[in-house]
Structure 1
Amino acid sequence: MKKLYFVEPIIAVYAFASFIVYPLVQQYVYRRLWQELTNTSYPITDNSSRCAPNSSNHSTYHEEVQRAASLFSMYTELFSMIPSLIVTLFLVAYSDHRGRKITIVLPLLGSVVYTVSFLAISFFELNLYLLIVATFVSSLFGGLGTILGGCFSYVADLCEDGKQKTLRMAGVDMVIGLLSGVASISTGYFLRAAGFNWPIFTSALFHCINVLYAVFFLEESRVIDRSNEDAPRGMALRKLVSGICRLFVAGTPKRNWLLGLLLITFTSFCFAGSGGSAVVTLYELNEPLCWSEILIGYGSALSTTVFITSFFGVALFSRCLPDLVIVLIGMLSVMTGALMTAFAKTTLMMFLVRVPALLAVMPYPVMRSLMSRVVSKSEQGALFACVAFLENLSGSVAYTVFSRIYAATVAWCPGFVFLLGAGLCVIPLSLLGVVSLFRLEDSKESEPLMSEEDSAAVEDNPVA
């Protein structure tokens, strides 16, 4: 059987299946907590808004459930963060020695475990906190960071040209946005027509199909070294750790400083950009918006169009602008969108906040490509293991911190977390300025960024 070198179908199906479930989780938790805390049925109407302005207890109910739901999200993230981070770091780095497929297959199996568990909890109305247990177990297989780290390493293996690498990585992000948008639109109607069980079952089915494709149809991108398969486990572990450490000591000091600056800039931007998104659904469920599941689906779908517009932005701007300028435009897009979200009080305004954020995803593929071009081909797995680890860590910490802050500020300023996210964008913007000065200074000198043995592998891929 002839196998394929296309990882995009896996990302597409994974995004579709995951974004069927992601909007459902917060809504399911919200409804269960509403029933438990208020001893009343959850208000479901055919109107776009669920607000009942004449109800004296309505605001109190919303505030109480909002706090409980945000804290539940925080606990879920805390219990899944550490195992997922450890698995991501070692598994993606391990792929340098044993191939990329393991970083793709294991997270897909974890997704199957989670969706099947979620289906059982919903169908049998089991204890709500079993969702936290399901999240913890699935994180032992890795998570989104693991599969993205593996897929970006896979793409880096196949691409020689720097521009081709940037565009294909941006294409992976676009596929995520396109399919997650389709899933987000359909989820609201699916939920209203069939309840929670059928959408969750559909997600589990797609994850199973994805596992079959990854195992039987996806070709390995690296030639796997079988000579040391019988080596002691301790030696293999030391080799794995030394590969990660070598990433930060190989090459010239300037290369190491540049790589470190890029990683810190990327991490701080992930923290600032992902914090506000952790509570968007809760913000939309709260007063004065009080969105229904249909509007939440449309809002999520509209948000995912930024992946498509960012892809075309990268494709267009890469023809005439330096990479760092493209990153700057994307960061300003994130900051502007967060500021507008903080003051969105109507449905129209909440939809319009997506407009200034249309280029918000551009920094991610461009910075991944920049870092990938700094290191050699033998270090791609170690690099993307660190990138995925830091992205997961910053996203998880941001999710936890912003959820806790939202629970504390929802009564007097629900939009405070978005103002905070916009303010924190100043940090990566400042670091980006340092990187640009670093590159400007380096361009005036002849000292290479990499050691001689590594530079031969990437001599055609200079950092823009």
Structure 2
Amino acid sequence: MKRLYFVEPVVALYAFSSFLSYPLVQQFVYRRLWEQLTNTPYPVSQDSSSCAGNNSSNHSSFHEEVQRDASLFSLYTQLFTVIPSLIVTFLLVTYSDWGGRKMTIIMPLIGMLLYTLFFLAISFYELNIYLLIATSFLSSLFGGPATFLGGCFAYVADLCKDSRQNMVRMARLDMMIGLLTGVAAVSTGYFLKAAGFNWPLLTSALFQCLNLSYAIFVLKETVTKAPHGAVLVGESSPRRSGLKRMIFGVYEMFKNTRGKSRVVLILLILIFTSYNMAYAGGMSLMTLFELNEPLCWTEILIGYGSALSTTVFLVSFGGVFLFTYCRMPPLYIVLIGILSAVISMVLIAFTKTTLMMFLVHVPLFLSIMPFPVLRAMMSKIIPGTEQGALFASLSCLDSLTFSVSSTIFNSVYAATVGWFSGFSFLLSAGLCAIPLFILGVVGVIGVDVLKEEGQPVASLEDENENSPVPN
């Protein structure tokens, strides 16, 4: 069989199949917890709200308790999966530099297929839902979305000969991810309403089998493996080379950066991390909030909500292109993105109707902009030989921050859902004050540094030239 340098089908099938099953997890846990608590079937309504027609105080107390238990379930899942996933991601991505990119693509696909099959078995045989936590742990041993996307973007970078081609192909991958996850999220709602949990999970597993077959038998490797026992130039062994890059890469990055530039670099990293903490924490609670009173969204509406969330990536990247074309200073672009997230989180906290819940996504559309702009600004500060260390560090911080913030916000949500379910979103908006303050400091002390490094720095082409893994 002829092998191809064409990774786009792998990304497309991964995005569609993963979001065909991912939105089902919280809904499945929520329904099973409801049945265990009340000893009654979950109330399925033909109305836009599953709370319609049943607003008794007893019914409301059940919702509060199920919300609390479902939030803690998400917390336990994060605790058992974050560490192994991070370790495997580091090992696989490091190994791919000399062992080949396909391993970083195939291993997460295997883990995702195992998770979906076990999820299907738990649903079909009505097994204990806490087995999903063990299944998540098993899947994390094969890597996760960060491993897969890192491998795919590195694969594309290997094929691209110039920055323009690199930008176009990576932007195309981003667009495919956004569009297909949105289509899958909408499809899941109708699928679940018509056929229950088993059929969408089985369909997702079939797509994943097809995707895995393509990755193994059709996709061609881009990295030429060194002969067994070969030693890289300047290193004692390939393994030590990779280990050295992992351990000393970050140290060398800061060491080779000049005094004031080093301060600005640290401040930009703090902005990136603190904003990611606040934003990811709030977004991780969206489905639980939509399931709770007074919204009580059905499967269809949750699918539409998930689809809107995925369009945030597309619109935000479009906003960066537009603002950089108009030569807006990158610090202003970051400011607009953070403020859009603050406005959305505050509105979500006080949302009581379905229409309002859809409308709060409008300011949220620009909330992803700070991530690519900050990446581009940081890449302009450090020497060209340290780009890999920078983006490896950012990738680690991204994954770790998401897991930690999800854990913290799920704990806070479980503790506050009884008296004000929107408190966690206000907390998310309040935490955005930290990156806003640091951004102001950078604007005061770092303007000369940024100008020295050759502004404008917010170009997506520059970012994609330096980073194989966008946020």
TM-score over 0.5 (shorter chain): yes
CA 1:201–1:369 in structure 2 vs 1: closer, same or farther (change >3 Å)? farther
**Matched position secondary structure for 1:318:** helix
Contact 2:380 2:454 in 1 (8 A): no
Q: Is the 8 A contact 2:166 2:465 kept in 1?
A: no
Distance 1:432 1:6 in 2: 40
Shift of 1:262: 3.0
Say if 1:18 and 1:444 are closer, same or farther in 2 by CA, change over 3 A. closer
Where 2:289 maps in the other structure, the secondary structure is: helix
Pair 1:348 & 2:355 matched? yes
Specify every segment of 5 or more residues in structure 2 that has no aligned partner in the other structure, as ranges. Answer: 456-461
Distance, in Å, in 1 between the alignment partners of 2:124 and 2:63 is 26
Match of 2:122 in 1: 121
Equivalent residue, structure 2, for 1:83? 84
Which position in structure 2 is the counterpart of 1:93?
Answer: 94
Report how far residue 33 of structure 1 moved. Answer: 0.6
Deviation at 1:5, TM superposition (A): 4.5
Question: For residues 441-461 of structure 1, what are the alpha-carbon distances to aligned partners after superposition, in whole Å with 9 as ceiling and x for unaligned?
Answer: 22565899xxxxxxxxx9x97
Q: Which amino acid aligns with 2:424?
A: V
Q: How does 1:141-156 map to 2 (within 5 A)?
A: 141-156=142-157
Q: Which amino acid aligns with 1:205?
A: L
TM-score normalised to structure 2 length: 0.86
Match of 1:385 in 2: 392
Written as runs of structure 1 = structure 2, the 5 A alignment for 1:373-452 is: 374=381, 380-437=387-444, 439-442=446-449
Aligned positions of 1:82-231 closer than 5 A? 82-157=83-158, 169-222=170-223, 224-226=225-227, 227-228=230-231, 231=237
Structure 2 counterpart of 1:200, one-letter code? L
**Counterpart of 1:269 in structure 2: which amino acid?**
Y
CA contact (8 A) 1:174 1:310 kept: no
Maintained 8 Å contact 1:89/1:388 = no
Paired residue for 1:59?
60
Alignment correspondent of 2:290? 284
Cα distance in structure 1, aligned partners of 2:7 and 2:120: 28
Structure 1 residue 92 displacement after superposition:
2.3
Q: Which residue of 1 aligns with 2:270?
A: 264
Amino acid at match of 2:401: S
1:3-42 aligned within 5 A = 3-42=3-42
For 1:78-120, what per-residue CA distance to the aligned partner results, in whole angstroms no more than 9, with x for missing partners? 1001111222233323433434333222212211111111111
Deviation at 1:250, TM superposition (A): 3.6
Matched-pair contact (CA < 8 Å) for 1:87–1:140: yes
The structural deviation recorded for 1:142 is 1.3
Q: Percent same amino acid among aligned pairs?
A: 58
Gaps of 5+ in 1: 449-457
- Greater shift, 5-14 or 398-407, is seen at 5-14
Q: Would you say the 8 A contact 1:167–1:315 is kept in 2?
A: no
Match of 2:373 in 1: 366
- Deviating more after overlay: 378-387 vs 143-152: 378-387
Cα displacement (A) at 1:264: 2.4
Residue range with higher mean Cα deviation, 147-156 or 37-46? 147-156
Could you list the per-position Cα deviations for residues 151-185 of structure 1 after superposition, in whole angstroms to 9, with x for gaps in the alignment? Answer: 34445555676677666555443332211110110
When residues 57 and 433 of structure 1 are mapped into structure 2, their CA distance, relative to the original with a 3 A threshold, is: same
Amino acid at match of 1:193: A
State the distance in 1 between where 2:246 and 2:231 align: 13
Bigger drift between 224-233 and 399-408 goes to 224-233
- In structure 1, the residue corresponding to 2:361 is in which secondary structure? coil
**Could you tell me whether the CA contact under 8 Å between 1:145 and 1:391 is conserved in 2?**
no
Structure 1 stretch displaced more, 285-294 or 311-320: 311-320
Q: 1:258 & 1:4 partners in 2: Cα distance?
A: 43
Report 1:298-309 matches (<5 A): 298-309=304-315
- Provide the rounded CA distance (Å) in 2 between the counterparts of 1:403 and 1:386: 25
Which residue identity does 1:340 align to in structure 2? L
Post-superposition offset of 1:246: 3.1
SS at match of 1:80: helix
Q: Residue in 2 aligned with 1:454?
A: none
**Contact kept? 1:145, 1:389, Cα under 8 Å:** no
